[in-house]
Structure 1
Amino acid sequence: MSEQTYELRFEYFNEENATLFFQKITDFLLSIDKLNNSLVSVFGIEIDINIQIKSIEKGSIRIWIAEKLNKISDDDIKHYVSNPRELLADLLIKSKKMILEKIQDKKCQDIPKEYKNIIEKSDLKDFGYNNNETNLLTCVSDLTHKAKEFKHKPMIIFEEKVYGISETFDYNPKTADGVKEQISKMQGAFIIKKPDLTGESKWEIINDKVIKVKINDENFKNKLKDRSIKLSYGDKIKGVLISKTYISKDLEVLENEYFLEDIKGIIEPSYTQEKSLFK
């Protein structure tokens, strides 16, 4: 695979401190890594890719980045293309240039469609690919927010052309077009694994598995705060468990949320007393 590198430039002026500044750089690099993995995930095969620092210059910090494909299912792809590593490397470079242009033009919603066009113009199209619009736009949103944390926007330089990320792209997969919400309700008594005595943060309860639930019962929360409800190990909380599942238009489960409502109270555990055989 031919080496393909690009440059990241970070200006260190009036930043809080060096430790925090370099933590921001690390977070920014990780967001690029996540974006790369989202881009190759459309092919539905095992590809292990990460970015590597090739060299660093002093002054304004300039970091040359190379992307390394450590693992790729050549046996799956080689029937369709002669050099899959080379093609995927080219795909990553072309797609990131496109993504940066769309960020600058404030047209991030067009990214999934444009990425599909790039694949269709490559030899990889014959291998087949799926749609990961939700994951891709989530990674793009994360990248812009990581860039926004710097006082001076980081610059990404491809072939001497400079791209700056100065605007954030806010993307909430749960409110995206085509997302469906499924709601189910179940009444019962659930073992309390980890309570929160203020009722403001999520509780952990056991319902076949451990789940985190938000308490949506103000009367119950008020009783917790004034200590009129007592809790001990093994207690159960009785109420209505509501499960909300968000499903994308690509039939991908985006998130599960759980709530407890209409709480009837706390049930103490029942202990079986052993009777002695001897008086």
Structure 2
Amino acid sequence: MPELPEVETIRAGITPHVLGQRIVRIVVRQPCLRWPVTNELITAGVGQTIQRLDRRGKYLLLGTDTGTIILHLGMSGRLRILPADTPPTKHDHVDFILTGGQCLRFNDSRRFGAVLWTVEPPEQHFLLRTFGPEPFDEAFSGRYLYQRVQGRIPAIKPFIMDHRVVVGVGNIYANESLFTANIHPLRCAGQLSLAECERLVSAIREVLREAIRQGGTTLRDFVNGAGEPGYFQQSLQVYARQARACSVCGAPIQQCRIGQRATYFCPNCQH
């Protein structure tokens, strides 16, 4: 599933092509996505100018004068900038035809993604209203995390993957951040000290920032808005590296499952 760095990479890539563009037509070939693509999207969206392109967690927000288009890539979604007359291929479900002669095309083979329209402030939308701070916000600090872990029994890995605590820390980057912070993923969240929370917040930002710089992680089929893969997988320290030597101490990387998610760690470096 595309995570925060992949979505941020797409946002940055398509922004120059869509910002200030008017939507002249919306073509919906397959409305049955995770939530139905409604006629309201077409009737309200056509004629609108895209004034802003933001990201909230793993959601892209195309802001117009009268509402917001909310896009989520699900497990296999892609957004591409293409000439408007490019013939559609299988799984090309929604096109936003723009005044500049290009289209923003949404492709999703598994149809777990979403293309929604809302007139309410996006932060009040039912999909976003429970979100915690962004990883790069000042509100997400070591002291904030320390206050949130007090008395909490769950393991720290699923805790930092909870969007109510902080948004956008998916499975790959939770593994990598905990390794960078030298914290075992099975540690009880409530056992972390303030210093460890500060170290973890710093590690999350460091890992996400580097992943964004490298264009995200391509493990199966992620590509950016230009159809290019991300390269952060070449920098992965623990994720999907079970039985391989730790880059720091040489001990074999171990794997377990926490909350049905594959979890990777160094038993020597992380404690």
TM-score by length of 1: 0.23
Q: Which structure's CA Rg is the greater one?
A: 1
TM-score by length of 2: 0.23
